[in-house]
Each structure stands twice: as structure tokens, then as C-alpha cells.
Amino acid sequence: MRIGELARRTGVSERALRYYEEQHLLLPVRRASGYREFEEADVRRVNSIRMLLAAGLNTAVIAEVLPCMTDNGEVLVPACAGLAPVLADERDRIDAAIEDLLDARRILDAIVQIAAQAEPTPVGCALP
């Protein structure tokens, strides 16, 4: 399949797919015409890339992890157990980011609650 079809099937822009190729996350075959040719497995691979990016992993880590993932994208093959410490570090980083976001939400909740109880600001008055 060509890049346009892969983009349609995965919901990822052609530009992003080219970026994935630049980062060596996707390795399409090149036809004599220069067009990229993708396989069915690339649909699953793109979905795995999206999942890992959404989890906050950078493309360098993803490039290490992808070859170790099974087709369903959920587990690492046993030969790649050496990645466990890298992934544990990523998990810890994500946990810290979640805590930071929860703190920010608590602050916003407090501000919203205070603002809801405050008197409306007269028209034309600047807010402090």
C-alpha cells in the first residue's frame, strides 16, 4: 500500500509517517519509481508507534522498543529483557508527570471554586 492509504487506515498524516521513516521507526520498501510501499504489518506498527508516543516515549526509545514488541504490540519478546530498566525509567517519568498534572488540576479546581463564589466584575473594570 502507498503512504496515502496507510495514512487513511491509521489516522496519521502522511507528514507524520515520513517523520517516522526519518526516525527509522518505519522502514518501507522503495519501488523503482521511488514510491514507498507499506505492508499490512506497518498498520500495526504505526498503531504501536502512536501508543508509545502517547505514553510519552521519545522516538529514540521507541526505535529500541519496536523491534522487541510482539505483533499485538502489548508485550516484549523475551530476548529484549534488557529494555526493562529503560522502560521502568519511562514509567517513573510518566508517573511523575501525572502527579504534576494532578497538582495543577487541584490548583485550578480551587481557583474555579473561588471564582464561582466571587462577585462578578463590573463591565470595563480590569481584573487584578
Which CATH code of 3.40.50.450, 1.10.1660.10, 1.10.287.3510, 3.40.50.410 fits the domain covering 3-117? 1.10.1660.10
Of 2-6, 36-40, 51-55, 75-79, least confident by mean pLDDT is 75-79
Give the confidence band of 109 by pLDDT, cuts at 50, 70, 90.
Answer: very high
Nearest to 10 by CA among 92, 98, 73: 73
Give the confidence band of 105 by pLDDT, cuts at 50, 70, 90.
Answer: very high
pTM above 0.85, yes or no: no
Give the confidence band of 1 by pLDDT, cuts at 50, 70, 90.
Answer: very high
Neighbours of 44 (CB within 10 A): 15
Q: pLDDT tens digit string along 37-73?
A: 999 999 999 999 999 999 889 999 999 888 888 666 6
End-to-end CA distance of the chain: 58
Residue 120 has pLDDT above 80, yes or no: no
Strand stretches in the chain, DSSP E: 29-30, 36-37
